[in-house]
Amino acid sequence: MKKTARLLSVVLVAAMLAACFTACGNTGDKQSGASDTVMIGGIGPLTGDYANYGTSNRNGAQMAVEEINAAGGVNGMKLSLNFQDSQADPDSAVNAYGKLLDSGMNVSLGGTFSGETASIVAAAKQDDMLILTPTASADKSIAGNDKAFRICFTDSSQGTASADFMADNSLCTKVAVFYQSDIDYSVGLYNAFKEEAAVRGIEIVSEQTFTADTSTDFSTQIADIKNSGADLVFIPIYAAEASTLLTQASGKLDSNIIYFGCDGLDGILTKLSDASYAENVMMLTPFAADAPEENVQSFVSSYKEKYGATPDQFAADGYDAVYVLKAALEHANITDANDKEFTSKMVAAMQEITVEGVTGSMTWTADGETRKDAKAMIIHDGVAVLYGA
């Protein structure tokens, strides 16, 4: 009996070792073998005060994934999207990136916000991971990574373009600036705007700031803007804080005064209790939901049907990002998501393709920056329309 038991134990141990080696071998084969699914990883706030940005970004990307897969995929491969909630926190974005990497991510959409993207850009370079962020606009958010690209404009280019648009369209001669001094997005826009405004002969008559800790009462800043004689207020801030300013300034500033912001203002109407507070608010953006182009109207119609809402720029950028990845995959003729040269081939392709997206015709430079034209929207009677349309 003892010999039988001892023999049985040896057999069981051998069987367990064999199973272990077999399992380990299968795992290795799966990781190194061919894959017909390109997993796209996304990061952004899906909960909290800034959830509208991340949700729009995810929705646009998801719709593009579904459209592409329904049309047959890319080079025999399907696309999948795994979008993680960061709550707009860079540390949470790092954790989300790790989860996505462990899940088999092939390409990253970076973070919805610049801080999120900046927190993972170094790790992504080390991991040989292509980043194509739809909306991280801070100049430095992709700096130092030659495998990182973006769909949106940089903060500096938006600030410069804002001053140029004001001057070219004779919108103002005296400007008050209201910006958030503790975030890179707002400061970057302001600095570029200030420099270009001086070149274009626009006088800044008031410079007002706030921080995250002082974002509930703007009465002092509003009083200064009122006394400055400004005919336009440049607000390079996000929609949540802008809604507070517009609400508190209602009835205190001239009803004809223009508020001018950039992509961070997208979604402002959803943040206000009264749409009339946004009258004459303008924003510089590459996307306009009422633009007449066929691809834009098709996108807007499909988005409304799927999500019951009009897409904003963040949704459009997310949508374009996935179609840009499709174009790069096709140009690079990649047929295996686990191709050992996947990233290098995609990086080369990004600098050679031209994509006609819903946010415009796009090409990319070696430093990851996009080239495309901007539009300006203005809100009248609770509706954002193309300026001058």
- Burial tier of 222 (Cβ tally within 10 Å: 0-12, 13-18, 19+): buried
Same domain? 236 vs 346 = no
Same domain? 219 vs 270 = yes
Residue 166: inside a domain: yes
- In the predicted model, is pLDDT for residue 303 greater than 70? yes
Same domain? 98 vs 55 = yes
- pLDDT given for residue 23 in this prediction: 41
Same domain? 90 vs 110 = yes
- In the predicted model, is pLDDT for residue 22 greater than 80? no
Spatial CA neighbour of 257 closest among 229, 238, 216: 229
- In the predicted model, is pLDDT for residue 215 greater than 70? yes
Amino acid found at 312 = D
Strand order in the sheet with 375-380: 203-210, 174-180, 232-234, 258-261, 281-285, 375-380, 383-386
Tokens of 239: 């929609």
The predicted-structure confidence for 234-243, as pLDDT tens digits, reads as follows 999 999 999 9
- In the predicted model, is pLDDT for residue 121 greater than 60? yes
CB count in 10 Å sphere of residue 39: 18
The predicted-structure confidence for 27-55, as pLDDT tens digits, reads as follows 333 345 788 999 999 999 999 989 999 99
- In the predicted model, is pLDDT for residue 17 greater than 70? no
Contact 280, 379 (CB under 8 A): yes
More confident residue, 155 or 130: 130
Total domains in the chain come to: 2
Average pLDDT, the chain: 90
Same domain? 247 vs 332 = no
Tell me, letter by letter, the H, E, C secondary structure of 14-50: HHHHHHHHHHHHHHHHHHHCCCCEEEEEEEECCCCCC
pTM, to two decimals: 0.79
pLDDT category at 15 given cuts 50, 70, 90 is: very low
Same domain? 258 vs 364 = no
**Distances from the Cα of 275 to the Cα of 149, 216, 272, 279, 294, angstroms:** 36, 19, 6, 7, 29
pLDDT category at 286 given cuts 50, 70, 90 is: confident
Q: How far apart are CA 142 and CA 129, in angstroms?
A: 13
The predicted-structure confidence for 187-196, as pLDDT tens digits, reads as follows 999 999 999 9
pLDDT category at 211 given cuts 50, 70, 90 is: very high
Average pLDDT estimate for 136-140: 90
The predicted-structure confidence for 320-347, as pLDDT tens digits, reads as follows 999 999 999 999 999 999 999 999 999 9
Q: How far apart are CA 302 and CA 324, in angstroms?
A: 19
The enclosing domain of 313 has a CATH number of: 3.40.50.2300
Residue 86: inside a domain: yes
Which of residues 244, 261, 285 is at a domain's end?
A: 285
What range defines the domain where residue 301 resides?
37-153+292-373
Residue 185: inside a domain: yes
Residue 381: inside a domain: no
